[in-house]
Amino acid sequence: MPTDNILDELEWRGLIAHSTDLDALREAFGQGAVRFYVGFDPTAPSLHMGHLVQILTARRLQQAGHTPYALVGGATGMIGDPKEAGERSLNSLDTVKEWVQRVRGQIEPFLDFEGANAATMVNNYDWTASLSTIDFLRDIGKHFPVNRMLARDVVRSRLEAGISYTEFSYVLLQSMDYLNLFRDHGVTLQFGGSDQWGNLTAGVDLIRRTEGARVHAIATPLMTKSDGTKYGKTEGGALWLDPSMLSPYAFHQFWLNVEDEKVEELLKVFTFLSREEIEELAQQTREKPFLRAGQKALADHVTTLVHGEAETEAAKSAAQALFGGGDLAGLPESTLGGALREAGSVRVSAGEVPSVVDLLVSTGLASSKGDARRTVGEGGAYLNNERVTDPDLVPGPDDLVGGVWLVLRRGKKKVAGVEVA
């Protein structure tokens, strides 16, 4: 049963940055199940935080009774959506195919593939690969005035530095996807990130021109920090969803460290907590910010969504062990070892324990020996929660916590373990 106010729900959650006619869409939602699609290009082996917004939005819509088509861009991934930074380098067909599989695997757990409004996975490679150039230029290309394409922001920003015909044509492919899904599956809504807005409206226009039909598009906002910079960066790079590219512990830590100001906004976008629960947490954050109830709820919910409950528990107990402020020696080996393995650890043999500086480098806490020495000089290096002052200090047997572990920390937040075996 479609709930009649899913659009209001999306608006309340701050998920609508741009849209075509909202009233028309609200009406469509009210009349029954709407078939909608959202696309993901395989440009990396894993999706990241930005994609998660789309995945969760798709799930919200499905839960409200609408029917998802999740598109993986086996074709568009071969071409590359133009971005301001410059021309992309092309990936091989094999690489793209492999990434398609991985991306599919990351989307599937979030959608329901059974029941009345079962989700469908589609790949635009299926209807693009065999398309003839003549047909493409006549049936699709004819509807795209170049003067309009040139006026698009991304394209304009690239005219100076240069843009290949390949990337320039990207929008045609994405628009064709929408047209195909409209024709073959009755899809009437596409959404995507706000950086996709131009591509979304291009599809809407194409369908209007070729089919005379009015279809819908909405764009979700770009997540930014309060200083306006982009969200979703960790020391290691993007906030990947793949646990082999970003550990669940690091993922959990990211959300736990979110600014107070952004907690409410992120809870709305990234959790399925109810309006009441979110308002309650937002109020707690305002009144008792030091409890960080909002951050904790956010971290737990998102990590559970992406990595499951067991990983969330592991990340939480690791954080508790490492940041709980308790005596490290008092922790059971299983807790401490687990925590350090979550946080990242290296192994050295008992006879060859290197100096603190070398350990900082080999655990990745410092980027070079110079950086490591600097850190020690600044008082930012800790061994077993005690500040290290001598960069050449070599930990001895007495320093081993539980006989096995050295707990190395840089600054307040970055911890790594050294397993001495």
Instruction: Report the interface residues with RNA, using CB under 7 A.
Output: 160, 226-227, 235, 253, 256-261, 289-290, 292, 295, 319-320, 323, 361, 367-371, 373-375, 378-380, 410-414
Closest CA relative to residue 124, chosen from 178, 166, 53: 178
Q: Which amino acid is at 204?
A: V
Name the burial class of residue 412, with classes exposed (0-12), middle (13-18) and buried (19+) by CB atoms within 10 angstroms of its CB.
Answer: exposed
Residue 97 CB, nearest approach to RNA (Å): 33
Neighbour count for residue 389 (Cβ, 10 Å)? 11
Q: Which two tokens stand for residue 295?
A: 């951050």
Q: Quick one: 94 or 227, whose CB is closer to RNA?
A: 227
Q: Quick one: 123 or 295, whose CB is closer to RNA?
A: 295
Q: Quick one: 205 or 300, whose CB is closer to RNA?
A: 300
- Pinpoint the alpha helices (H) of 228-381: 248-256, 260-270, 275-287, 293-307, 309-323, 333-343, 356-362, 369-377
Residue 366 CB, nearest approach to RNA (Å): 8
Q: Quick one: 31 or 257, whose CB is closer to RNA?
A: 257
Residue 313 CB, nearest approach to RNA (Å): 13
Q: Quick one: 122 or 331, whose CB is closer to RNA?
A: 331
Residue 173 CB, nearest approach to RNA (Å): 28
C-alpha–C-alpha distance, residues 413 and 419, integer Å:
20
Q: Quick one: 216 or 373, whose CB is closer to RNA?
A: 373
C-alpha–C-alpha distance, residues 21 and 35, integer Å:
17
Count Cα atoms within 13 angstroms, Cβ side, for 101.
Answer: 5
Residue 158 CB, nearest approach to RNA (Å): 12
Do the strands 237-238 and 233-234 form a parallel or antiparallel pair, or are they unpaired? antiparallel
For the residues of 71-140, what is the DSSP string, one character each?
Answer: EE-TTHHHH----TT-PPPPPPHHHHHHHHHHHHHHHGGGS--SSTT--EEEETHHHHTT--HHHIIIII
Residue 40 CB, nearest approach to RNA (Å): 28
Residue 226 CB, nearest approach to RNA (Å): 7
Q: Quick one: 66 or 262, whose CB is closer to RNA?
A: 262
